[in-house]
Every structure is written in structure tokens, then in C-alpha cells.
Structure 1
């Protein structure tokens, strides 16, 4: 099966045709009931509610031995962990602090994984934010959605790759699945020609509350394309997954009340439930093989990259974004980490 990189780009408009196909005309592919994750260790970020919690529940239902719930608030997450411990008493379920708006927190989280875990098989990067207001993260100076969904998620991805490579069993590549959104096909991306690119996301004149979330996901797709050229699928299979439009999540929790009401009505008639949405995570992280390396998975299948990403303009911007992102993250010797993966 061809990877997303090898497929011609999708030219179907996301609304309404692709959306209707996603929500109403796709056949779910649940894991084989005989799947056994005994002995395996998994990290799921943003896993105290919504899709992350349901994904954790489903992983444990297949006898996952050790789950790390990676979340910003330890107090709020202990209730979620307690429910899972009661349901799966034979599993080890830990809650670890991970603030995706803080480079320091991400580094501390990865250092803990390196020190305390003898094994790591799966990492599902589900944590993300959306919002209607322009806000900067004080510690980095970057706009919050851009920081969390793009810069911090790519930093965590890079830092986890060597651990997944070293601590997954021989002959079984580690698995890194990054949650994305194919709303990326709809972006306006008004600052795409800005040079340098990264500082333009911190300029309020480019902030569009509707566009910033899907743009942040597009950036992750652009970076992942190049990142997967630096790691073999024999060591770590890296893919991206689109769960579809799902109800029961907290992604729009900061939306104004009228918008929340409208979204809830729209969700009632068209959204997947969290069980179905989370099944896409397990399909990407467990069922799909090396053929999914560097691919986007949508509707439980490999999907093409966006038309923009495959264009000459997109490839040029992808190279700029890659270079600027490595410069942003050079405090961790990112080039040395990438060389170690070869």
C-alpha cells in the first residue's frame, strides 16, 4: 500500500463532499478482538477527558500493561485515572505532569520517561488546544495555539523518537501517532509567504480564530513529512491520524456560548461518538504497519497530503518551516537527536 507521500494530493473540497464521506459514508475498522497488548507500555497525552480518555480505555481493554496519562493538571486527572484503575485492576496506570505550553515541562516529562521506563511501545500525541482569543505563552513568547499544537508537539515528537527506538522490543518498531485535522485542507494561511515564518504567528494581525487551529495542524503535517525522512520505519513508525468530527470532546470549550450551541446542534446530527473517534487512534498506532510511516490516516485508511503541501510553493515553505523549527528548538541539540536516529 502506498504512503501518503506517494499518493497524488486530494483535490476533493473538504466541505461538503469529504466531510459527508467522513461522517456518513465510512466503514469503521475496529481492532481485532484477539489483539493482545500484554507487556506493552503506552503514553497518551491529554488523556483525562474526551478522545484521550476513551483511547486510554480502549488500549487497556486490550490488556495494555502500563499506561501513562500525560496531562497538565494532575489533580483533575486523578479522578480519570481512578476510574480506569477500578475498571482495569491488573494494569499499571500512572498520571504524569505534561504542560504542552512549557518547553521545560516537556523536557522534564521525557527525562522521566527515559529514567523510569524500561520499555515504551506506543506514544499517542492527542493533546491540543483551540481558542477564540489571541494569547501568548509567557515563557516562549509564541501564540498559544501555535505553541501547543505545533512547536511543542513537534518538540515532544523529536524527544520521544530515540526512546521509542531504544525501548521497544527488538523486531517491533516503536509507534508514534500524532493527532491531526484534515480541516488543514480548508486553511487560508494568510502569513504563508512571510519570511521568517515562525514570528508571523505571534503577530496578532495574522490571527484568525477560525483558521489558526487547522493551520497549526497543517504545520504539523508539513514538519512530519520531513521528520519521517530521518527515522526508519524499522525503528519507529510515525504517522498522523484524523479522528473525524467527534462529539464529547472539550476542544471548543472556550468558544462563545452562541457558537457552542450551534456546534452542539451540528454535532448532534453529524458527529462521531468518542468510541468511534478513538478507534481511529488505535487503528493508526497498532493495526497499521510500516506502510503508514509518514502518512496521514483518515477514515481508517491512508489519505493523501493536501494539494498545497505537494505544490512547489508548499515544498518551498515546508523547507523554510523545517529550518526555522530546528533553529527554534536548537536548545535541545535537535540536529544531534536526528542524526542519532539514522
Structure 2
């Protein structure tokens, strides 16, 4: 499927349905990137469904505490917890997973919403390009480290836990060059200063990371045995008012301002699609397994993903990802060995 401006405009101007509601009594929800924007609004919606635990996973302690207090004031929900996590720091992700092993217990819904959008090349303390680490390395790392808790939840409570990764319809707008399609160390190349020296490369970085969100969800789903009742999905929340575009300069600022006025959803409206992906189809959640959700329905992903070359990239980048993350935390290897299939039919 290719990106269509006509479909984009039609979707953005269409009246959006009310938020989906279910009873989350006794269940645990974790929202990453929950102190502002889509993550905070989604957390408010989850709070209205009375979860047993609602964990707001945030990078900044003071902003996280303010979000917990604001959520309580606006919803009356008093059980929200602040847990700190910085996806730009592998050690922080590992510490979050360590804490979950000690204190987390069951895990029914994991919303991976945190992301970085930048036009400027920079590296983390771990040596990776910042947005690539946050969006495409730490996001999978957290999902894999929390997978055992979700499998245990499914077994002990006869439920179907869900992993929800926030992607974007921007993934339709990027493609991979022939050299990249053949690169056995694709993620390392994409992170390198040499590859990213062109401003054009960094302008396309955010859509590219959203493409790799889709690759990850599809690759993980393909390796989850059908007998494992875990639903992993990606979604597009739509074009919303967002701080992700704060680095725009010059005429682009004016253009984005005008587009926001004409087409953008509020963050509350955009968050409804996150919640829908996390709680809809209670009677048959498998409908969403491995799928990309847009406009409250399953939608075909981009042609870049579906081509034979795209399938090969999906699988080779998964192998590279697992090697990278296993070096970061040996538990990744244990999770893959115990819960996933190491090879699939291409």
C-alpha cells in the first residue's frame, strides 16, 4: 500500500468515534511516555476503566510526578504509579525491567508510545544515534524483557495481554535504498555518523524509525507461537498536535502551523486509537495480532514492508536487533530461546 494525501486528508477531517471502554478491574497497564501528549491522554482513558494498576513510565521525575497528580485531579483515579525509564539509556531500560521482575506482577497492556523526532544527529551514552536507540532499540528491548511477565499473566489469569507500539502513517513515505536492502549490519549503518552526515537522511529519520516499528511488530509476531496468547500490534494515531515537530524551522514552521489548524487531531482524539488498539475486539483479540491499525481498523502496511526485499530486511534486521540487544542484556537471549521461535519460513 502507498501513502495517499487524499486518504490522509479524508481521515483527518472525519469525525472520530468515542473512546473504547472496557472493564480493566484487576489488570495492569503500563504506558511508556505517559507524562504528556498522546501517552498522558491515553493514560487518562485507561484510568477511567479502573485498572488494578496503572504505571506511568516517564523519563523525567518532576514531570512524571506532575502527570500523576494531574491525572488524579482530572479522573479521580488514585492508583497511578510513576516509574522512571529513559529509552535513551539502555541501563535505565534494564533497571525498569529489573524492578518489574521484583514488583510488577501481572502485565496486561504495554503501550510503547515514547519516541524521539529529530533532524539533528546526536548519539546516546551507549553510542547509538538517539532516535534510532529510543524508537527502534530500547522500545524492542523493553517489550522483550517484559514478555515473560505477559506470558505468565496469560497463563495465570486466562487473559490475552497486548503490546501496542505507536508507529505512524509516515512509514508509508520512506523506502530503503538498494545498498541498505543488502546491508547485513543495517541498524549499525543507519546509526553511523558517516551515513547520517546528509541532512536529507536526518529529515527522513523519524519516518524511517516508524517503518522499523512496523518491522519489529511483524517480526516479533511471526516468532510468537500461535499457542502463546500475546497480541502485538502497531498503530497510527493520526496527525496530531505534537511536540515531535518542535525542531522545524523557517517556512516549515508556518506550513505545519497551518496544517495543524486545518487537519490536526487533539492529543486526546489521537490517543483514542491507542486505547482502541489496546482494548478492542475483546471477543477475538487475535484479529489484531501482528497487524497495523489505522483509523480504527486493520490496514495494509507499506509496499516497502510487503515486498520480498522488505520481508528479508524485516528478518535480517530482527537477527541484528537480537544480537545487539543480547549484548546489552543477556536476558534477551533467554527470552528468545524460551518464548520465541528462532527461525521462520520466509
Mark yes or no: TM-score above 0.5.
yes
Deviation of residue 27 (structure 1)? 4.9
Deviation of residue 26 (structure 1)? 6.6
Give the alignment partner of residue 190 of structure 2, picking from 194, 201, 214. 201
Deviation of residue 258 (structure 1)? 4.6
Give the alignment partner of residue 336 of structure 1, picking from 334, 337, 343. 334
1:200-221 CA distances to partner (integer Å, 9 max, x unpaired)?
A: 1123353323211111111121
Matched, 1:237 2:231: yes
Q: What is the count of residue pairs matched by the alignment?
A: 327
The root-mean-square deviation of aligned C-alpha atoms, in Å, is: 1.9
- 8 A Cα contact 2:176 2:304, kept in partner: no
- Identify if the C-alpha distance between structure 1 residues 17 and 96 changes in structure 2 by more than 3 Å, giving closer, same or farther: same
RCO (CA 8 Å, sep 6+): is it higher in 1 or 2?
Answer: 1
Match of 2:344 in 1: none
Between the aligned partners of 2:278 and 2:20, the Cα distance in structure 1 is 11
Superposed, 1:81-96 pairs within 5 Å as 81-96=68-83
Match of 1:287 in 2: 280
Match of 2:266 in 1: 273
Match of 2:6 in 1: 17
- Identify if the C-alpha distance between structure 1 residues 81 and 272 changes in structure 2 by more than 3 Å, giving closer, same or farther: same
Between the aligned partners of 1:265 and 1:17, the Cα distance in structure 2 is 17
Between the aligned partners of 2:31 and 2:317, the Cα distance in structure 1 is 26
- 8 A Cα contact 2:47 2:77, kept in partner: no
- 8 A Cα contact 1:242 1:297, kept in partner: yes
- 8 A Cα contact 1:48 1:71, kept in partner: yes
TM-score using structure 1 length: 0.89
Match of 2:27 in 1: 40
Give the alignment partner of residue 172 of structure 2, picking from 174, 177, 185. 185
Query: Any gaps of 5 or more consecutive residues in structure 1?
Result: 1-9
- 8 A Cα contact 2:236 2:293, kept in partner: yes
Aligned residue for 1:251, secondary structure, equals helix
Query: Any gaps of 5 or more consecutive residues in structure 2?
Result: 341-346
Between the aligned partners of 2:54 and 2:251, the Cα distance in structure 1 is 38
- Identify if the C-alpha distance between structure 1 residues 195 and 117 changes in structure 2 by more than 3 Å, giving closer, same or farther: closer
Between the aligned partners of 2:7 and 2:133, the Cα distance in structure 1 is 28
Deviation of residue 295 (structure 1)? 0.5
Between the aligned partners of 2:250 and 2:66, the Cα distance in structure 1 is 27
Matched, 1:214 2:207: yes
Between the aligned partners of 1:229 and 1:316, the Cα distance in structure 2 is 13
- 8 A Cα contact 2:175 2:304, kept in partner: no
- Identify if the C-alpha distance between structure 1 residues 112 and 263 changes in structure 2 by more than 3 Å, giving closer, same or farther: same
Superposed, 1:116-135 pairs within 5 Å as 116-135=103-122
Matched, 1:59 2:57: no
Deviation of residue 271 (structure 1)? 0.9
Between the aligned partners of 1:171 and 1:21, the Cα distance in structure 2 is 40
1:295-314 CA distances to partner (integer Å, 9 max, x unpaired)?
A: 01110100112212111111
